């Protein structure tokens, strides 16, 4: 089986390498097709998201990706954003659950943030009306709204989730979020076996810190989703431990959503858990459900045992020791 691997910048090569090892240890044989993106690609091809990388993913359909930096000052738009748009990866999914051994103020958080990935303020439509006056366009369309809400409900169904909360700001953006809300309500009717809830974005963000356990699947437009995904990650320990996935109709890209951490790059102490868990989501998606679950369980067991952890997790281990612990638990599990 051939899958595209984008190692990315900074700690990217180290953490993606760890993920490849874990996948192999789980018994899934993959021939990795290496594509480039980020600062490394910009240096080599003069373009942080070279067309051949996009073509590669179009050909092999699936990619696993490390953190990619968008070099500043050249007018480049974000690699991540362009990748999603270029492949019509319309749904970004961030599953977030409380992890053993990671001290946070919250317990038993277990929610999934579904973010619309192609529209909203990310459409890139901006203009300077006159010097010092800029308008950005927030685009909401019925097809994209229906598609993302349907995706969220389908995900809820497949994952045995019981509630979908649709997040909006309809009292301010009456036309746009009014339209989105109308689409959400209509789609929700097709899923009478799943509870549906509507919640304004400000209320949601407050409730997430007051009582995160009351949420299950959350679905919303692009920028709200950007914010809520990261807020939710914070509830369980931050970007170093949460996986990310971007799904389209034809392609899917699984990625660590943390940065490239240039300060520790090459030192062998980067935490590979985010990309390993992203790899588990990937395996699940392509039909290796058992292997995916075994990897996820091995990560949880490793965190619980607390041996070989990297410094960001409070340990004195390395990328290597942590990866080996995970592989150890994979075989033991």
Ligand X SMILES: CC(C)[C@H](C(=O)O)[C@@H](O)C(=O)O
Question: From residue 21 to residue 60, what is the string marking binding to a copy of itself with x (rule CB under 8 A)?
Answer: ----------------------------------------
**In this chain, which of 172, 267, 289, 304 binds ligand X, going by CB under 6 A?**
172
CA distance 94 to 180: 21
- Pairing, β 163-168 against β 195-200: parallel
Q: Which residue, 67 or 317, has its beta carbon nearer to ligand X? A: 67
137 binds, among a copy of itself, ligand X, none (CB under 5 to 8 A by kind): a copy of itself
109 binds a copy of itself, rule: CB under 8 A = no
Window contacting a copy of itself (CB under 8 A); options: 14-22, 28-36, 73-81, 246-254: 73-81
Give which of 277, 270, 236, 237 is closest to 256, Cα–Cα. 277
List residues bridging with 198 in a β-sheet: 166
Window contacting ligand X (CB under 6 A); options: 75-83, 144-152, 185-193, 300-308: 75-83
209 binds a copy of itself, rule: CB under 8 A = yes
Token pair 């809400």 in the structure block, residue: 149
**In this chain, which of 88, 154, 197, 230 binds a copy of itself, going by CB under 8 A?**
230
Displacement of CA 301 from its chain's centroid (Å)? 22
**In this chain, which of 226, 284, 296, 324 binds ligand X, going by CB under 6 A?**
226
Helix axes 273-285, 319-332, angle to 10 degrees: 40
CA distance 14 to 66: 9
Q: Are 93 and 113 in contact (CB under 8 A)?
A: yes
Q: How big is the site for a copy of itself, counted in residues (CB under 8 A)?
A: 55
166 binds a copy of itself, rule: CB under 8 A = no
Question: From residue 249 to residue 288, what is the string marking binding to a copy of itself with x (rule CB under 8 A)?
Answer: ----------------------------------------
50 class by beta-carbon count within 10 Å (0-12 exposed, 13-18 middle, 19+ buried): middle
State the DSSP code for 108: S
Question: From residue 199 to residue 218, what is the string marking binding to ligand X with x (rule CB under 6 A)?
Answer: ---x----------------
Report phi then psi at 221, rounded to 5.
-75, 180
User: Closest distance between a copy of itself and the C-beta of residue 79, in Å?
Assistant: 11
Q: Are 65 and 254 in contact (CB under 8 A)?
A: yes
Residues of this chain that interact with ligand X (CB under 6 A) are: 78, 80-81, 171-172, 202, 226, 257
């Amino acid at each position: 089986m051939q899958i595209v691997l984008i190692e990315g910048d900074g700690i990217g090569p180290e953490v993606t390498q760890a993920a490849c090892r874990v996948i192999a240890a789980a018994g899934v044989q993959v021939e990795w097709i290496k594509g480039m993106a980020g600062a490394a690609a910009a240096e080599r091809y003069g373009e942080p998201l070279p067309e051949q990388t996009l073509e590669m993913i179009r050909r092999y359909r699936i990619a696993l990706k490390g953190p990619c930096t968008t070099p500043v000052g050249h007018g480049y738009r974000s690699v991540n954003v362009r990748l999603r748009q270029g492949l019509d990866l319309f749904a970004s999914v961030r599953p977030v659950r409380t992890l053993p051994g990671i001290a946070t103020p919250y317990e038993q958080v277990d929610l999934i943030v579904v973010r619309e990935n192609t529209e909203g303020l990310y459409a890139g439509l901006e203009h300077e009306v006159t010097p010092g006056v800029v308008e950005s366009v927030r685009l909401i369309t019925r097809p994209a709204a229906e598609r993302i809400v349907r995706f969220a409900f389908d995900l809820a169904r497949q994952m045995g989730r019981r509630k979908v909360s649709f997040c909006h700001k309809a009292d301010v953006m009456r036309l746009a979020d009014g339209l989105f809300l109308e689409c959400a309500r209509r789609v929700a009717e097709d899923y009478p076996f799943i509870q549906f809830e509507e919640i304004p974005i400000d209320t949601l963000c407050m409730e997430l810190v007051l009582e995160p356990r009351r949420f299950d699947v959350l679905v919303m437009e692009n920028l709200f989703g950007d914010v809520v995904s990261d807020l939710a990650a914070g509830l369980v320990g931050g970007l170093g431990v949460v996986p990310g996935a971007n799904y389209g109709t034809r392609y899917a890209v699984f990625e660590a959503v943390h940065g490239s951490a240039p300060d520790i790059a090459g030192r062998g102490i980067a935490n590979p858990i985010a990309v390993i868990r992203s790899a588990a989501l990937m395996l699940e998606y392509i039909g290796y459900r058992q292997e995916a679950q075994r990897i996820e369980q091995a990560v949880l067991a490793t965190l619980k045992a607390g041996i070989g952890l990297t410094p960001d997790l409070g340990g004195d281990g390395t990328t290597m020791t942590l990866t080996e612990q995970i592989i150890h638990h994979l075989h033991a599990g």
